[in-house]
Structures are given as C-alpha cells and as structure tokens.
Amino acid sequence: MDGTALALVRAAKKLNRCLAGQDFGSPVACVYNPLEYAWNAYRSYLERFAGTGGAGGKRVLLLGMNPGPWGMAQTGVPFGEIQAVRDWMGIEQPVGHPPVEHPRRPVQGFAVARSEASGRRLWGLVRERFGTAECFFREHFVGNYCPLLFLDPEGKNLTPDKLPSGERQALFDCCDEHLRATILALDPHWLIGIGRFTERRLRAVQADLGEGDSGNRERKVAGILHPSPASPAANRDWAGATAERLISLGVW
C-alpha cells in the first residue's frame, strides 16, 4: 500500500477509537459510522485513490461535512452515490450494518437503489471534466470532516453543527485531529470546503498547523457551494457555478 494511503488508514482507525466513547443524546436517535460497518469499502477507496504515487502529494483536498443516508452511509465512500462508486471508481465491497438502524434509513450497501443527489452532482461534474477516476484522483482527493451520520427520531439527517454544544465540541476535537492528519499526509496546495461549515473547519485547522509545516507549501483555503438540493442556490446550475468558481480561484 502507498505510504500516503497507509497513513490515512491509520488516521481513520484512530478517529474511530476517538469516536467510540462518545454518546449523543436528543435529538439524535441513531448514529451510523460507515468507517466501521463499511470499512472494507472505505479502505478500498483509500488504497485506490489516496496514494500520491510519489513525494509530490495531492494538489487539491475537497472536504465534505458528513455522510448522507443514501451515499457514504451505504457505500463507505464520501459523497458515495452508488453508480459513481461502483461503476466509475470500480469499488464494491460487502457492507454490514450499524448497531442501531433506523427503519426509514436502512443500510443496503451496494444493493441500494436510491441515488444520493449531492454525490450525483459532485461526481457528475468531476466525471464530465476529468473523464476517468484515475485522472481526477491523480491530483485531487475527496474526504469528509466527520464520518458519522446522525438521524433524529423521524429518520431525518442532523448535521454535526446542529448537535448540543458539549457533544459538538468533543466530536470536533476528534474530527479536527483527523483532518490535521489528512492534510499532513496529502500535503495539498488547495484546501476546498464543500459548503461553509467545512471551509470554516479547514481554516481553523490550517491556522493551527501554520504554514510551511508539510512539504514547505503555502496552503490556500477556499470554499464552494454544497451540492445539496436542500440549498436553493445549488439547484441553479450547481455544476456550472462550481466549475466557474474553481477556475476563477486557479484550482482548475
């Protein structure tokens, strides 16, 4: 295994240990951690696409917030829309189940029939611009800040920023440490937050790291609009606006 991928495998296992002792109360009814029950798929993702193939590192890290119920929660891959993961990336692994499963959000793994809109938009843009997964991942990597999916009693998704302050801080401490390890392993020039939340977390972690600590690079932090259909702005040509934004920044 490539040294960069191995570093991220170890970082993910450390993140799981950090999260294992945390409890989440109301309004959280169920917590899914695909880094546990879909570990084989996530490890395959790292083995195939996290490696740098040399000492140069990745040029761009794109960071999402946390799994969606029909994406990473099913496939173990960030923004893990089923067709993109199985057919475009070539990843398909057995997937287990979280300890407590909400009846409205069953984990079906790679048998899931529902497509995640955010992942479909993100990987659709990437596929249109780069063609193959190998071409895209040569310089890019896509990760998530938090690996946990939180569901309320009705089965609705709760994002990490909506948790009570005490639980949120303990969670952020674990996720910040993992993000630091990810940045140091990948040594990217660009840190791109997919949505305002992750842009803020990237800026905070990068400020703690300082400049020149990894590969003597001056890292740049920026953000793009999250592709969720819950955002009215994302429903107005998200792909076109995002490509234009990345081109204007000089990322693409």
Q: What is the CATH number of the domain that holds 30?
A: 3.40.470.10
Number of domains in the chain: 1
Number of residues in the chain: 252
* pLDDT band of 216, cuts 50, 70, 90: very low
| 176-193: average pLDDT | 97
SS (H, E, C) the chain: CCHHHHHHHHHHHHHHHHHHCCCCCCCCCEEECHHHHCHHHHHHHHHHHCCCCCCCCCCEEEEECCCCCCCHHHHCCCCCCHHHHHHHCCCCCCCCCCCCCCCCCCCCHHHCCCCCHHHHHHHHHHHHHHCCHHHHHCCEEEEECCCCEEECCCCCEECHHHCCHHHHHHHHHHHHHHHHHHHHHHCCCEEEEECHHHHHHHHHHHHHHCCCCCCCCCCEEEEECCCCCCCCHHHCCHHHHHHHHHHHHCCC
Residue 190's domain comprises 3-249
Angle at 166 between CA 163 and CA 168, to 5 degrees: 40
**Structure confidence by residue, pLDDT tens digits, 102-136:** 999 999 999 999 999 999 999 999 999 999 999 99
- Residue 237 — pLDDT band, cuts 50, 70, 90? very high
For residues 175-203, average pLDDT? 97
User: What mean pLDDT comes out for the span 174-194?
Assistant: 97
